[in-house]
Amino acid sequence: MEYTNLGRTGLKVSRLCLGTMNFGPFTSEPDSYAIMDKALELGINFFDTANVYGWKLGEGVTESIIGRWWAQGGNRRDKVIIATKVFGRMGEGPNDRRLSALHIRRACEDSLRRLQTDYIDLYQMHHVDRETPWEEIWQAMELLVQQGKVLYIGSSNFAGLHIAQAQHAAEKRNFLGLVSEQSLYNLNARMIELEVIPACQAYGLGLIPWSPLAGGLLGGALQKQNQGRRASDRNQEAIEKNRARLEAYEAFCAEFGDHPADIALAWLLHNPAVTAPIIGPRTLEQLTGSLRALEIKLDEAALKKLDEIWPGPGGAAPEAYAW
Protein backbone atom coordinates (compact mmCIF):
# COMPACT_ATOMS: atom_id res chain seq x y z
CA MET A 1 0.00 0.00 0.00
CA GLU A 2 1.13 3.55 -0.72
CA TYR A 3 0.56 6.40 1.74
CA THR A 4 0.44 10.15 1.37
CA ASN A 5 -0.20 13.22 3.49
CA LEU A 6 -3.79 14.36 3.85
CA GLY A 7 -3.54 17.79 2.26
CA ARG A 8 -1.06 20.06 4.02
CA THR A 9 -1.22 18.05 7.26
CA GLY A 10 1.29 15.60 8.64
CA LEU A 11 -1.35 12.86 8.72
CA LYS A 12 -0.53 9.83 6.55
CA VAL A 13 -3.41 8.06 4.83
CA SER A 14 -3.58 5.23 2.31
CA ARG A 15 -3.93 6.11 -1.38
CA LEU A 16 -7.24 4.25 -1.42
CA CYS A 17 -10.01 5.18 1.01
CA LEU A 18 -12.52 2.52 2.07
CA GLY A 19 -16.03 3.83 1.56
CA THR A 20 -18.61 2.26 3.86
CA MET A 21 -21.90 3.52 2.39
CA ASN A 22 -22.89 -0.01 1.37
CA PHE A 23 -22.51 -1.34 4.92
CA GLY A 24 -26.00 -2.07 6.17
CA PRO A 25 -28.19 -1.45 3.11
CA PHE A 26 -26.28 -3.67 0.64
CA THR A 27 -23.58 -5.46 2.65
CA SER A 28 -24.44 -7.48 5.76
CA GLU A 29 -22.76 -6.72 9.07
CA PRO A 30 -20.61 -9.88 9.06
CA ASP A 31 -19.53 -9.18 5.47
CA SER A 32 -18.81 -5.55 6.43
CA TYR A 33 -16.56 -6.78 9.24
CA ALA A 34 -14.73 -9.05 6.81
CA ILE A 35 -14.20 -6.21 4.34
CA MET A 36 -12.83 -3.90 7.04
CA ASP A 37 -10.52 -6.60 8.39
CA LYS A 38 -9.24 -7.29 4.89
CA ALA A 39 -8.76 -3.57 4.24
CA LEU A 40 -6.48 -3.33 7.28
CA GLU A 41 -4.62 -6.43 6.17
CA LEU A 42 -4.05 -4.78 2.77
CA GLY A 43 -2.76 -1.61 4.42
CA ILE A 44 -5.83 0.58 3.84
CA ASN A 45 -5.99 2.78 6.95
CA PHE A 46 -8.40 5.48 5.69
CA PHE A 47 -12.14 4.76 6.11
CA ASP A 48 -14.97 7.11 5.12
CA THR A 49 -18.52 7.12 6.44
CA ALA A 50 -21.34 9.55 7.36
CA ASN A 51 -23.97 9.82 10.04
CA VAL A 52 -26.76 9.48 7.45
CA TYR A 53 -25.42 6.27 5.88
CA GLY A 54 -27.76 3.37 6.32
CA TRP A 55 -30.62 5.66 5.29
CA LYS A 56 -32.79 5.08 8.35
CA LEU A 57 -33.62 8.47 9.82
CA GLY A 58 -31.51 9.24 12.87
CA GLU A 59 -30.18 5.70 13.31
CA GLY A 60 -26.67 6.04 11.91
CA VAL A 61 -26.70 2.42 10.79
CA THR A 62 -23.29 2.39 9.10
CA GLU A 63 -21.49 4.27 11.89
CA SER A 64 -22.93 1.75 14.35
CA ILE A 65 -21.59 -1.17 12.33
CA ILE A 66 -18.11 0.38 12.38
CA GLY A 67 -18.41 0.97 16.13
CA ARG A 68 -19.32 -2.65 16.81
CA TRP A 69 -16.44 -3.80 14.59
CA TRP A 70 -14.02 -1.64 16.58
CA ALA A 71 -15.46 -3.02 19.83
CA GLN A 72 -14.15 -6.48 18.90
CA GLY A 73 -10.69 -5.30 19.94
CA GLY A 74 -7.41 -6.04 18.26
CA ASN A 75 -6.48 -2.33 18.25
CA ARG A 76 -8.81 -1.87 15.29
CA ARG A 77 -9.64 1.70 16.29
CA ASP A 78 -6.00 2.73 16.54
CA LYS A 79 -5.29 1.37 13.06
CA VAL A 80 -7.99 3.43 11.34
CA ILE A 81 -8.15 7.07 10.25
CA ILE A 82 -11.91 7.56 10.34
CA ALA A 83 -13.71 10.26 8.38
CA THR A 84 -17.38 10.89 9.03
CA LYS A 85 -19.77 13.71 8.15
CA VAL A 86 -22.30 16.18 9.51
CA PHE A 87 -25.09 18.08 7.73
CA GLY A 88 -27.71 15.54 6.74
CA ARG A 89 -31.13 15.19 8.32
CA MET A 90 -30.94 13.10 11.49
CA GLY A 91 -34.36 13.77 13.03
CA GLU A 92 -37.75 15.40 12.60
CA GLY A 93 -36.88 18.69 14.29
CA PRO A 94 -35.85 21.92 12.53
CA ASN A 95 -32.40 21.78 14.15
CA ASP A 96 -31.71 18.15 13.30
CA ARG A 97 -29.77 18.96 10.14
CA ARG A 98 -27.40 21.48 8.51
CA LEU A 99 -24.48 23.22 10.27
CA SER A 100 -25.79 25.27 13.17
CA ALA A 101 -23.57 25.15 16.24
CA LEU A 102 -26.32 23.24 18.00
CA HIS A 103 -26.57 20.55 15.35
CA ILE A 104 -22.79 20.21 14.95
CA ARG A 105 -22.47 19.59 18.70
CA ARG A 106 -25.32 17.10 18.87
CA ALA A 107 -24.30 15.31 15.68
CA CYS A 108 -20.71 14.92 16.82
CA GLU A 109 -21.73 13.47 20.18
CA ASP A 110 -24.09 11.04 18.44
CA SER A 111 -21.41 9.94 15.96
CA LEU A 112 -18.92 9.38 18.78
CA ARG A 113 -21.46 7.25 20.62
CA ARG A 114 -22.32 5.14 17.57
CA LEU A 115 -18.68 4.73 16.57
CA GLN A 116 -17.77 3.79 20.16
CA THR A 117 -14.77 6.10 20.13
CA ASP A 118 -13.76 9.30 21.88
CA TYR A 119 -12.47 11.14 18.82
CA ILE A 120 -13.06 11.54 15.08
CA ASP A 121 -9.98 11.91 12.90
CA LEU A 122 -11.62 13.86 10.05
CA TYR A 123 -14.99 15.55 10.58
CA GLN A 124 -16.43 16.62 7.23
CA MET A 125 -19.18 19.07 6.44
CA HIS A 126 -21.31 17.01 4.06
CA HIS A 127 -22.54 20.08 2.15
CA VAL A 128 -22.20 23.83 2.31
CA ASP A 129 -24.75 25.55 4.57
CA ARG A 130 -25.65 28.92 3.08
CA GLU A 131 -27.88 29.73 6.07
CA THR A 132 -25.21 29.54 8.78
CA PRO A 133 -22.35 32.09 9.07
CA TRP A 134 -18.80 30.80 8.99
CA GLU A 135 -18.11 32.41 12.36
CA GLU A 136 -20.69 30.12 13.95
CA ILE A 137 -19.50 27.02 12.12
CA TRP A 138 -15.85 27.57 12.97
CA GLN A 139 -16.58 28.41 16.60
CA ALA A 140 -18.39 25.09 16.95
CA MET A 141 -15.64 23.18 15.16
CA GLU A 142 -12.88 24.85 17.17
CA LEU A 143 -14.59 23.78 20.39
CA LEU A 144 -14.68 20.16 19.23
CA VAL A 145 -10.97 20.34 18.39
CA GLN A 146 -10.16 21.94 21.75
CA GLN A 147 -12.10 19.17 23.52
CA GLY A 148 -10.14 16.52 21.60
CA LYS A 149 -13.29 15.13 20.00
CA VAL A 150 -12.20 16.04 16.46
CA LEU A 151 -8.68 16.26 15.03
CA TYR A 152 -9.15 17.65 11.51
CA ILE A 153 -11.98 19.35 9.60
CA GLY A 154 -12.90 18.65 5.99
CA SER A 155 -15.57 19.62 3.51
CA SER A 156 -17.63 17.72 0.97
CA ASN A 157 -19.49 18.94 -2.10
CA PHE A 158 -18.11 22.48 -1.74
CA ALA A 159 -17.55 24.80 -4.67
CA GLY A 160 -14.23 26.59 -5.05
CA LEU A 161 -15.87 29.76 -3.70
CA HIS A 162 -16.98 27.95 -0.53
CA ILE A 163 -13.47 26.62 0.09
CA ALA A 164 -12.08 30.15 -0.24
CA GLN A 165 -14.75 31.61 2.05
CA ALA A 166 -14.21 28.90 4.65
CA GLN A 167 -10.44 29.33 4.66
CA HIS A 168 -10.62 33.11 4.83
CA ALA A 169 -12.90 32.88 7.88
CA ALA A 170 -10.68 30.25 9.52
CA GLU A 171 -7.51 32.26 8.95
CA LYS A 172 -9.05 35.27 10.70
CA ARG A 173 -9.50 33.04 13.75
CA ASN A 174 -5.94 31.62 13.47
CA PHE A 175 -7.55 28.21 12.92
CA LEU A 176 -6.25 25.47 10.61
CA GLY A 177 -9.58 25.30 8.81
CA LEU A 178 -10.23 22.79 6.06
CA VAL A 179 -7.65 20.12 5.27
CA SER A 180 -9.63 18.14 2.67
CA GLU A 181 -12.49 18.30 0.19
CA GLN A 182 -14.56 15.29 -0.86
CA SER A 183 -16.01 15.82 -4.31
CA LEU A 184 -17.70 13.95 -7.13
CA TYR A 185 -14.84 13.29 -9.53
CA ASN A 186 -14.30 10.67 -12.20
CA LEU A 187 -13.64 10.42 -15.93
CA ASN A 188 -17.28 11.18 -16.66
CA ALA A 189 -17.65 14.00 -14.08
CA ARG A 190 -14.78 16.47 -14.38
CA MET A 191 -16.43 19.82 -13.60
CA ILE A 192 -14.35 20.29 -10.44
CA GLU A 193 -11.29 20.77 -12.63
CA LEU A 194 -12.57 24.29 -13.28
CA GLU A 195 -12.37 25.73 -9.77
CA VAL A 196 -12.53 23.14 -6.97
CA ILE A 197 -9.22 21.45 -7.75
CA PRO A 198 -7.38 24.79 -8.15
CA ALA A 199 -8.87 25.93 -4.82
CA CYS A 200 -7.74 22.70 -3.12
CA GLN A 201 -4.23 23.16 -4.47
CA ALA A 202 -4.10 26.83 -3.49
CA TYR A 203 -5.24 26.21 0.10
CA GLY A 204 -3.51 22.88 0.66
CA LEU A 205 -6.59 20.64 0.80
CA GLY A 206 -6.36 16.97 -0.02
CA LEU A 207 -8.91 15.89 -2.64
CA ILE A 208 -10.96 12.78 -1.86
CA PRO A 209 -12.99 11.80 -4.96
CA TRP A 210 -16.30 10.05 -4.38
CA SER A 211 -17.98 7.85 -6.99
CA PRO A 212 -14.69 7.24 -8.83
CA LEU A 213 -16.40 4.65 -11.04
CA ALA A 214 -19.43 6.86 -11.76
CA GLY A 215 -21.82 4.47 -10.07
CA GLY A 216 -20.39 1.50 -11.97
CA LEU A 217 -20.46 3.18 -15.37
CA LEU A 218 -16.67 3.06 -15.57
CA GLY A 219 -16.41 -0.45 -14.16
CA GLY A 220 -17.09 -2.37 -17.35
CA ALA A 221 -20.74 -1.37 -17.66
CA LEU A 222 -21.20 -2.76 -21.17
CA GLN A 223 -19.75 -6.12 -20.17
CA LYS A 224 -22.02 -6.31 -17.11
CA GLN A 225 -25.04 -4.42 -18.44
CA ASN A 226 -27.63 -6.85 -17.14
CA GLN A 227 -26.04 -7.52 -13.75
CA GLY A 228 -26.97 -6.13 -10.32
CA ARG A 229 -27.58 -2.41 -10.00
CA ARG A 230 -26.55 -1.86 -13.62
CA ALA A 231 -29.84 -3.47 -14.63
CA SER A 232 -31.84 -0.61 -13.07
CA ASP A 233 -33.66 1.78 -15.39
CA ARG A 234 -31.53 4.70 -14.23
CA ASN A 235 -28.27 2.93 -14.96
CA GLN A 236 -29.52 1.61 -18.27
CA GLU A 237 -30.32 5.19 -19.27
CA ALA A 238 -26.81 6.28 -18.28
CA ILE A 239 -25.31 3.46 -20.33
CA GLU A 240 -27.35 4.35 -23.41
CA LYS A 241 -26.51 8.03 -23.04
CA ASN A 242 -22.79 7.25 -22.91
CA ARG A 243 -22.73 4.15 -25.12
CA ALA A 244 -20.34 5.53 -27.74
CA ARG A 245 -17.86 6.70 -25.09
CA LEU A 246 -18.19 3.44 -23.17
CA GLU A 247 -17.49 1.41 -26.29
CA ALA A 248 -14.36 3.46 -26.96
CA TYR A 249 -13.33 3.32 -23.30
CA GLU A 250 -13.76 -0.40 -22.84
CA ALA A 251 -11.94 -1.03 -26.12
CA PHE A 252 -9.07 1.15 -24.87
CA CYS A 253 -8.96 -0.76 -21.57
CA ALA A 254 -8.93 -4.11 -23.40
CA GLU A 255 -6.03 -2.93 -25.56
CA PHE A 256 -4.24 -1.54 -22.50
CA GLY A 257 -4.72 -4.87 -20.77
CA ASP A 258 -6.46 -3.80 -17.57
CA HIS A 259 -9.99 -3.76 -16.22
CA PRO A 260 -11.99 -0.56 -16.81
CA ALA A 261 -12.48 -0.01 -13.05
CA ASP A 262 -8.74 -0.17 -12.44
CA ILE A 263 -8.00 2.26 -15.26
CA ALA A 264 -10.57 4.70 -13.88
CA LEU A 265 -8.96 4.60 -10.42
CA ALA A 266 -5.46 4.85 -11.86
CA TRP A 267 -6.49 7.95 -13.82
CA LEU A 268 -7.54 9.64 -10.57
CA LEU A 269 -4.40 8.56 -8.76
CA HIS A 270 -2.14 10.10 -11.41
CA ASN A 271 -3.48 13.55 -10.47
CA PRO A 272 -1.21 15.12 -7.81
CA ALA A 273 -4.21 16.92 -6.28
CA VAL A 274 -5.87 13.60 -5.40
CA THR A 275 -5.20 12.12 -1.96
CA ALA A 276 -7.32 8.96 -2.14
CA PRO A 277 -10.34 7.93 -4.24
CA ILE A 278 -13.12 6.37 -2.20
CA ILE A 279 -13.74 2.77 -3.15
CA GLY A 280 -17.06 1.31 -2.04
CA PRO A 281 -16.75 -2.47 -2.28
CA ARG A 282 -19.75 -4.66 -1.58
CA THR A 283 -17.61 -7.81 -1.58
CA LEU A 284 -14.09 -8.90 -0.66
CA GLU A 285 -13.36 -9.55 -4.32
CA GLN A 286 -14.18 -5.97 -5.24
CA LEU A 287 -11.93 -4.72 -2.44
CA THR A 288 -8.87 -6.77 -3.34
CA GLY A 289 -9.33 -6.06 -7.04
CA SER A 290 -9.05 -2.32 -6.44
CA LEU A 291 -5.38 -2.60 -5.46
CA ARG A 292 -4.37 -3.21 -9.07
CA ALA A 293 -4.98 0.52 -9.73
CA LEU A 294 -1.96 1.39 -7.58
CA GLU A 295 0.31 -0.48 -9.98
CA ILE A 296 -0.98 0.97 -13.25
CA LYS A 297 1.11 3.71 -14.85
CA LEU A 298 -0.61 5.83 -17.49
CA ASP A 299 1.78 7.49 -19.92
CA GLU A 300 1.08 10.70 -21.82
CA ALA A 301 -0.36 8.81 -24.79
CA ALA A 302 -2.80 6.93 -22.56
CA LEU A 303 -3.84 10.09 -20.72
CA LYS A 304 -4.39 11.89 -24.02
CA LYS A 305 -6.58 9.05 -25.29
CA LEU A 306 -8.65 9.10 -22.10
CA ASP A 307 -9.09 12.87 -22.49
CA GLU A 308 -10.36 12.29 -26.01
CA ILE A 309 -12.90 9.71 -24.84
CA TRP A 310 -13.92 11.56 -21.67
CA PRO A 311 -13.17 15.26 -22.31
CA GLY A 312 -13.01 17.55 -19.31
CA PRO A 313 -14.10 21.19 -19.12
CA GLY A 314 -10.85 22.35 -20.69
CA GLY A 315 -8.69 22.74 -17.61
CA ALA A 316 -8.84 25.32 -14.85
CA ALA A 317 -10.90 28.52 -14.97
CA PRO A 318 -10.75 31.06 -16.50
CA GLU A 319 -8.53 29.65 -19.28
CA ALA A 320 -11.03 26.81 -19.81
CA TYR A 321 -13.51 29.30 -21.25
CA ALA A 322 -11.53 32.51 -21.80
CA TRP A 323 -8.11 33.51 -23.05
| Vertex 202 angle, CA 312 and 310, to 5° | 10
Nearest to 168 by CA among 146, 138, 123: 138
Report d(CA 104, CA 99) in Å as an integer: 6
State residue 317's pLDDT score.
97
The domain spanning residue 62 has which CATH number?
A: 3.20.20.100
Give a yes or no: residue 321 inside a domain.
no
Give a yes or no: residue 304 inside a domain.
no
Give a yes or no: residue 319 inside a domain.
no
State residue 235's pLDDT score.
79
Residue pair 81/11 in contact by the 8 Å Cβ criterion: yes
The one-character DSSP state at 27 is B
| H or E segment and range at residue 47 | strand 46-48
State residue 17's pLDDT score.
98
pLDDT by residue for the chain (323 residues), tens digit each?
999 999 999 999 999 999 999 999 999 999 999 999 999 999 999 999 999 999 999 999 999 999 999 999 999 999 999 999 999 999 999 999 999 999 999 999 999 999 999 999 999 999 999 999 999 999 999 999 999 999 999 999 999 999 999 999 999 999 999 999 999 999 999 999 999 999 999 999 999 999 999 999 999 999 876 555 545 677 788 899 999 999 999 999 999 999 999 999 999 999 999 999 999 999 899 999 999 999 999 999 999 999 999 999 999 999 999 99
State residue 233's pLDDT score.
73
Give just the sign of the alpha carbon dihedral 70, 32, 286, 211. negative
Q: Which domain holds residue 22?
A: 3-215+260-299
Give a yes or no: residue 8 inside a domain.
yes
State residue 231's pLDDT score.
59
Q: How many CA atoms lie within 13 A of 144 on its CB side?
A: 31
Following CA atoms 263, 266, 270, 275 in sequence, which dihedral angle do they give, to the nearest 10 degrees?
150
Give a yes or no: residue 322 inside a domain.
no
In this structure, the strands spanning 278-279 and 206-210 are unpaired
Give a yes or no: residue 220 inside a domain.
no
Nearest to 76 by CA among 15, 32, 123, 125: 32
The one-character DSSP state at 5 is E
Give a yes or no: residue 317 inside a domain.
no
Total of domains in the chain: 1
Nearest to 241 by CA among 224, 217, 268, 219: 217
Active site residues: 53
Give a yes or no: residue 167 inside a domain.
yes
